[in-house]
């Protein structure tokens, strides 16, 4: 199932941020989105996640030559298959475990399956000693690992990450890279923005550049 954006435009008053005729993120693909500050990378990710309406165009999930024609985030049963991870993610007031388990209650899983996913996520995020601690007392790196683990347990079709490694230590980056590798191996499409060269970006199959109101796929000879 591909995430497809067609003829999307974003304009704030007289200022046109970008216009993109077509964008396709396939499942199992990792794309590194680059661009200067203010180019519109965060806005684009939010539009693709259904969190912000574009000024024009539409975003849909496409499978077997059939696409949803509605604003899928609000009105379609496919809601939740595309997850956006903010640079400073929101965490609930409960424990690490409670944060991980929150979204699973909406999935058709057995109690054993839910617990298994939580156990795996706690271990992969390297948060086992903190599993019963309040998420609000975690460090920056721990919070980011928990936010990614919370997305990981949901098994999204597509995950959009906004500067996921900003100001993180090498151990946190390594833990996040392992979780993303696991998601990609399960067929999750990954689109991430980053100003850093890390294990998260170096394994990208494509690199896109958002510049001068346009989105361009960089040829191999121009990739970082």
Torsion sign over Cα 76, 89, 170, 121: negative
Q: Say what the pLDDT of residue 105 is.
A: 83
What is the residue whose two structure tokens read 């979204």? 103
Q: Say what the pLDDT of residue 71 is.
A: 45
Residue 21, helix vs strand vs coil: strand
How far apart (Å, rounded) are the C-alpha atoms in residues 162 and 116? 28
Cα–Cα distances (Å) from 163 to 64, 160, 166, 201, 215, in that order, read 32, 10, 6, 11, 18
How far apart (Å, rounded) are the C-alpha atoms in residues 157 and 80? 9
Instruction: Give the pair of three-digit tokens for residue 136.
Output: 């609000």
* Residue-by-residue pLDDT tens, the chain, 224 positions: 899 999 999 999 999 999 999 999 999 999 999 999 999 999 999 999 999 999 999 999 887 555 444 444 444 434 568 999 998 888 999 999 999 998 888 888 899 999 999 999 999 999 999 999 999 999 999 999 999 999 999 989 999 999 998 888 899 999 999 999 999 999 999 999 998 888 889 889 999 999 999 999 988 767 76
Judged on CB neighbours under 10 Å (0-12, 13-18, 19+), 75 is exposed
The alpha carbon torsion through 160, 166, 168, 169 (nearest 10 deg) reads 110
> Within 10 A of 40 (CB to CB), how many other CB atoms are there?
20
Q: Say what the pLDDT of residue 221 is.
A: 66
CB 139 within 8 A of CB 131: no
Class of domain 2-222: alpha beta
Which is nearest to 153 in space by CA: 198, 117, 178, 188? 117
The total number of residues shown for the chain amounts to 224
Q: Say what the pLDDT of residue 106 is.
A: 81
Instruction: Give the pair of three-digit tokens for residue 200.
Output: 């998260």
């Amino acid at each position: 199932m591909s995430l497809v954006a067609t003829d999307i435009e974003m304009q704030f008053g007289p200022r046109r941020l970008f216009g993109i005729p077509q964008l396709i993120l396939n499942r199992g693909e990792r794309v590194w989105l680059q661009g200067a500050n203010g180019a519109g990378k965060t806005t684009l990710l939010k539009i693709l996640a259904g969190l912000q309406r574009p000024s024009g165009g539409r975003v849909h999930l496409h499978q077997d030559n059939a696409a949803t024609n509605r604003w899928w985030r609000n009105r379609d049963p496919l809601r939740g298959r595309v997850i956006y991870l903010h640079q400073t993610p929101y965490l609930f007031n409960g424990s690490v475990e409670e944060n991980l388990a929150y979204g699973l209650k909406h999935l058709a899983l057995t109690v054993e399956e839910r617990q298994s996913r939580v156990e795996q996520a706690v271990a992969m995020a390297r948060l086992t000693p903190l599993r019963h601690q309040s998420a609000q007392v975690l460090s920056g790196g721990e919070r980011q690992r928990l936010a990614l683990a919370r997305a990981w347990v949901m098994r999204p079709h597509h995950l959009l990450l906004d500067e996921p490694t900003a100001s993180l230590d090498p151990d946190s980056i390594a833990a996040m890279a392992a979780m993303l590798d696991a998601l990609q191996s399960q067929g999750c499409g990954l689109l991430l923005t980053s100003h850093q060269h890390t294990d998260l970006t170096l394994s990208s199959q494509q690199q896109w550049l958002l510049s001068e109101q346009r989105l361009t796929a960089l040829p191999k000879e121009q990739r970082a």
